[in-house]
A and B are shown apart, each in its own frame.
Chain A
Amino acid sequence: TQLLEQSPQFLSIQEGENLTVYCNSSSVFSSLQWYRQEPGEGPVLLVTVVTGGEVKKLKRLTFQFGDARKDSSLHITAAQTGDTGLYLCAGESSNYKLTFGKGTLLTVNP
Protein backbone atom coordinates (compact mmCIF):
# COMPACT_ATOMS: atom_id res chain seq x y z
CA THR A 1 0.00 0.00 0.00
CA GLN A 2 1.41 3.37 -1.00
CA LEU A 3 1.28 6.03 1.71
CA LEU A 4 1.68 9.79 1.52
CA GLU A 5 2.70 11.62 4.69
CA GLN A 6 1.90 15.32 4.85
CA SER A 7 3.50 17.71 7.32
CA PRO A 8 2.77 19.66 9.28
CA GLN A 9 -0.73 18.44 10.06
CA PHE A 10 -1.78 21.90 11.29
CA LEU A 11 -0.28 25.32 10.59
CA SER A 12 -1.45 28.67 11.91
CA ILE A 13 0.35 31.79 10.70
CA GLN A 14 -0.12 35.55 10.35
CA GLU A 15 -1.00 37.21 7.09
CA GLY A 16 2.16 38.12 5.15
CA GLU A 17 4.27 35.20 6.41
CA ASN A 18 5.78 32.52 4.18
CA LEU A 19 5.21 28.82 4.68
CA THR A 20 6.10 25.43 3.25
CA VAL A 21 4.15 22.19 3.52
CA TYR A 22 5.55 18.80 2.65
CA CYS A 23 4.30 15.59 1.10
CA ASN A 24 6.55 12.53 1.45
CA SER A 25 6.42 8.89 0.48
CA SER A 26 8.69 5.89 0.16
CA SER A 27 6.96 5.08 -3.14
CA VAL A 28 7.50 6.50 -6.59
CA PHE A 29 4.55 8.21 -8.22
CA SER A 30 4.00 8.85 -11.92
CA SER A 31 2.54 12.25 -11.06
CA LEU A 32 1.49 14.24 -8.04
CA GLN A 33 -1.45 16.57 -7.65
CA TRP A 34 -2.10 19.29 -5.07
CA TYR A 35 -5.62 20.26 -4.03
CA ARG A 36 -7.13 22.82 -1.68
CA GLN A 37 -10.35 22.09 0.15
CA GLU A 38 -12.48 24.65 1.96
CA PRO A 39 -15.13 23.79 4.59
CA GLY A 40 -18.30 22.36 3.09
CA GLU A 41 -16.76 21.99 -0.36
CA GLY A 42 -14.92 19.39 -2.36
CA PRO A 43 -11.18 19.63 -3.09
CA VAL A 44 -10.14 21.87 -5.97
CA LEU A 45 -7.12 20.99 -8.08
CA LEU A 46 -4.26 23.51 -7.84
CA VAL A 47 -1.53 21.86 -9.90
CA THR A 48 -0.18 18.60 -11.29
CA VAL A 49 3.55 17.88 -11.40
CA VAL A 50 4.83 15.06 -13.55
CA THR A 51 8.59 15.27 -14.06
CA GLY A 52 11.14 14.68 -11.29
CA GLY A 53 12.62 18.00 -10.21
CA GLU A 54 9.77 19.96 -11.79
CA VAL A 55 8.89 23.34 -10.31
CA LYS A 56 5.58 25.04 -11.06
CA LYS A 57 4.46 28.48 -9.93
CA LEU A 58 0.89 29.63 -9.51
CA LYS A 59 1.00 33.29 -8.43
CA ARG A 60 2.29 33.16 -4.83
CA LEU A 61 2.31 29.34 -4.71
CA THR A 62 5.38 27.33 -5.76
CA PHE A 63 5.16 23.56 -6.17
CA GLN A 64 8.14 21.23 -6.46
CA PHE A 65 8.30 17.54 -7.32
CA GLY A 66 11.28 15.70 -5.90
CA ASP A 67 13.95 14.35 -8.25
CA ALA A 68 13.03 10.77 -7.36
CA ARG A 69 9.28 11.49 -7.72
CA LYS A 70 8.66 10.39 -4.11
CA ASP A 71 8.07 13.74 -2.47
CA SER A 72 6.74 17.22 -3.11
CA SER A 73 6.49 20.58 -1.43
CA LEU A 74 4.21 23.58 -1.62
CA HIS A 75 5.59 26.99 -0.70
CA ILE A 76 3.31 29.99 -0.21
CA THR A 77 4.80 33.47 -0.21
CA ALA A 78 3.14 36.32 1.70
CA ALA A 79 0.15 34.26 2.81
CA GLN A 80 -3.29 35.85 2.67
CA THR A 81 -6.43 35.00 4.65
CA GLY A 82 -7.90 33.61 1.45
CA ASP A 83 -5.22 30.91 1.47
CA THR A 84 -6.86 29.32 4.51
CA GLY A 85 -7.93 25.74 3.83
CA LEU A 86 -6.96 22.09 3.82
CA TYR A 87 -4.09 21.37 1.41
CA LEU A 88 -4.03 17.83 0.07
CA CYS A 89 -1.43 16.08 -2.02
CA ALA A 90 -2.32 13.03 -4.10
CA GLY A 91 0.08 10.68 -5.84
CA GLU A 92 -0.86 8.72 -8.92
CA SER A 93 0.44 5.18 -9.11
CA SER A 94 1.13 3.11 -12.20
CA ASN A 95 -2.44 1.70 -12.20
CA TYR A 96 -3.84 5.27 -12.22
CA LYS A 97 -5.10 5.11 -8.62
CA LEU A 98 -4.81 8.32 -6.61
CA THR A 99 -3.53 8.05 -3.04
CA PHE A 100 -4.20 11.10 -0.92
CA GLY A 101 -2.29 12.36 2.08
CA LYS A 102 -4.30 13.37 5.16
CA GLY A 103 -3.66 17.02 4.48
CA THR A 104 -2.27 20.15 6.08
CA LEU A 105 -4.87 22.42 7.64
CA LEU A 106 -3.65 25.98 7.11
CA THR A 107 -5.10 28.95 8.97
CA VAL A 108 -3.95 32.42 7.97
CA ASN A 109 -4.86 35.00 10.59
CA PRO A 110 -5.43 38.67 9.72
Chain B
Amino acid sequence: KAGVTQTPRYLIKTRGQQVTLSCSPISGHRSVSWYQQTPGQGLQFLFEYFSETQRNKGNFPGRFSGRQFSNSRSEMNVSTLELGDSALYLCASSPGHGGNQPQHFGDGTRLSIL
Protein backbone atom coordinates (compact mmCIF):
# COMPACT_ATOMS: atom_id res chain seq x y z
CA LYS B 1 0.00 0.00 0.00
CA ALA B 2 1.55 3.29 -1.08
CA GLY B 3 2.12 5.83 1.67
CA VAL B 4 1.42 9.55 1.72
CA THR B 5 3.20 11.27 -1.14
CA GLN B 6 4.24 14.91 -0.99
CA THR B 7 5.62 16.90 -3.90
CA PRO B 8 7.96 18.54 -4.37
CA ARG B 9 10.43 17.38 -1.71
CA TYR B 10 12.45 20.57 -1.82
CA LEU B 11 11.58 24.07 -2.93
CA ILE B 12 13.42 27.39 -2.92
CA LYS B 13 11.48 30.62 -3.30
CA THR B 14 12.09 34.31 -2.69
CA ARG B 15 10.15 36.71 -0.51
CA GLY B 16 6.86 37.87 -1.98
CA GLN B 17 6.37 34.85 -4.21
CA GLN B 18 3.66 32.26 -3.72
CA VAL B 19 3.94 28.48 -3.57
CA THR B 20 1.67 25.45 -3.93
CA LEU B 21 2.46 22.15 -2.25
CA SER B 22 0.76 18.88 -3.10
CA CYS B 23 -0.23 15.87 -1.01
CA SER B 24 -1.62 12.52 -2.15
CA PRO B 25 -3.07 10.56 0.79
CA ILE B 26 -3.07 6.83 1.33
CA SER B 27 -5.67 5.19 -0.89
CA GLY B 28 -9.02 5.17 0.88
CA HIS B 29 -8.08 7.90 3.35
CA ARG B 30 -10.44 10.84 3.19
CA SER B 31 -8.90 13.23 5.71
CA VAL B 32 -5.79 15.28 5.02
CA SER B 33 -4.10 17.53 7.57
CA TRP B 34 -1.23 19.95 7.06
CA TYR B 35 1.45 20.88 9.57
CA GLN B 36 4.39 23.28 9.64
CA GLN B 37 7.53 22.06 11.40
CA THR B 38 10.31 24.42 12.48
CA PRO B 39 13.13 23.95 15.01
CA GLY B 40 11.79 26.73 17.22
CA GLN B 41 8.06 26.02 17.20
CA GLY B 42 7.96 22.31 16.49
CA LEU B 43 4.99 20.83 14.64
CA GLN B 44 2.10 23.25 14.31
CA PHE B 45 -1.30 22.40 12.87
CA LEU B 46 -2.34 24.38 9.81
CA PHE B 47 -5.67 22.86 8.73
CA GLU B 48 -7.59 19.66 8.07
CA TYR B 49 -9.72 18.78 5.09
CA PHE B 50 -12.31 16.02 4.93
CA SER B 51 -14.65 15.40 2.02
CA GLU B 52 -13.40 18.57 0.30
CA THR B 53 -14.38 20.72 3.30
CA GLN B 54 -12.07 22.42 5.78
CA ARG B 55 -12.95 20.88 9.17
CA ASN B 56 -10.34 22.45 11.42
CA LYS B 57 -7.98 25.38 11.23
CA GLY B 58 -4.89 26.36 13.20
CA ASN B 59 -3.65 29.82 14.10
CA PHE B 60 -1.97 30.85 10.87
CA PRO B 61 -2.58 33.99 8.81
CA GLY B 62 -4.85 33.99 5.79
CA ARG B 63 -1.81 33.76 3.50
CA PHE B 64 -1.95 30.04 4.21
CA SER B 65 -4.79 28.28 2.44
CA GLY B 66 -5.63 24.86 1.20
CA ARG B 67 -8.12 22.77 -0.67
CA GLN B 68 -9.04 19.16 -1.20
CA PHE B 69 -10.20 17.52 -4.39
CA SER B 70 -12.83 14.83 -4.91
CA ASN B 71 -10.09 12.15 -5.02
CA SER B 72 -8.93 13.33 -1.56
CA ARG B 73 -5.69 14.81 -2.88
CA SER B 74 -4.91 18.11 -1.25
CA GLU B 75 -2.94 21.22 -2.03
CA MET B 76 -1.66 23.92 0.26
CA ASN B 77 -0.90 27.43 -0.95
CA VAL B 78 1.14 30.12 0.72
CA SER B 79 1.02 33.61 -0.78
CA THR B 80 3.34 36.59 -0.27
CA LEU B 81 6.08 34.41 1.17
CA GLU B 82 8.07 35.66 4.16
CA LEU B 83 11.45 34.53 5.46
CA GLY B 84 9.72 33.02 8.48
CA ASP B 85 7.78 30.65 6.23
CA SER B 86 10.94 28.59 5.75
CA ALA B 87 10.02 25.22 7.24
CA LEU B 88 9.25 21.58 6.63
CA TYR B 89 5.62 21.26 5.59
CA LEU B 90 4.12 17.91 6.46
CA CYS B 91 0.93 16.37 5.24
CA ALA B 92 -0.83 13.56 7.08
CA SER B 93 -3.78 11.44 6.03
CA SER B 94 -6.22 9.42 8.10
CA PRO B 95 -9.21 7.26 7.21
CA GLY B 96 -11.79 9.69 8.52
CA HIS B 97 -12.53 12.76 10.58
CA GLY B 98 -13.21 12.44 14.24
CA GLY B 99 -11.69 11.02 17.37
CA ASN B 100 -8.65 8.83 17.62
CA GLN B 101 -7.62 8.92 13.98
CA PRO B 102 -3.98 7.85 13.51
CA GLN B 103 -2.07 10.28 11.34
CA HIS B 104 0.02 8.82 8.52
CA PHE B 105 2.63 11.38 7.55
CA GLY B 106 4.43 11.99 4.30
CA ASP B 107 8.11 12.88 4.29
CA GLY B 108 7.36 16.57 3.81
CA THR B 109 8.27 19.43 1.53
CA ARG B 110 11.29 21.44 2.66
CA LEU B 111 10.57 25.08 1.75
CA SER B 112 13.38 27.61 1.89
CA ILE B 113 12.73 31.32 1.44
CA LEU B 114 15.63 33.50 0.29
Contact = CB atoms under 8 A, between A and B. Distances in A.
Interface of A: 1, 30-31, 33, 35, 40-45, 48, 50, 88, 90, 92, 95-103
B103 interface: yes
Contacts of B107: 40-42
Interface in B27-61: 33, 35, 41-45, 48, 55-56, 58-59
Interface residues of B, number: 27
B100 A50 contact: yes
Contacts of B101: 96
B90 interface: yes
Given A41-B107, A42-B105, A42-B107, A48 B100 contact: yes
B104 to A, nearest CB: 7
Nearest to B102: A45
B90 to A, nearest CB: 5
B51 to A, nearest CB: 14
Query: Which of B55, B58, B105 has the most C-beta atoms of chain A within 10 angstroms of its own C-beta?
Result: B105
B10 to A, nearest CB: 11
Interface stretch (B14-22, B68-76, B79-87, B91-99): B91-99
A96 B105 contact: no
A4 to B, nearest CB: 9
A45 B99 contact: no
6 contacts: A43-B90, A45-B102, A88-B42, A88-B43, A96-B48, A97-B56
A1 B58 CA distance: 10
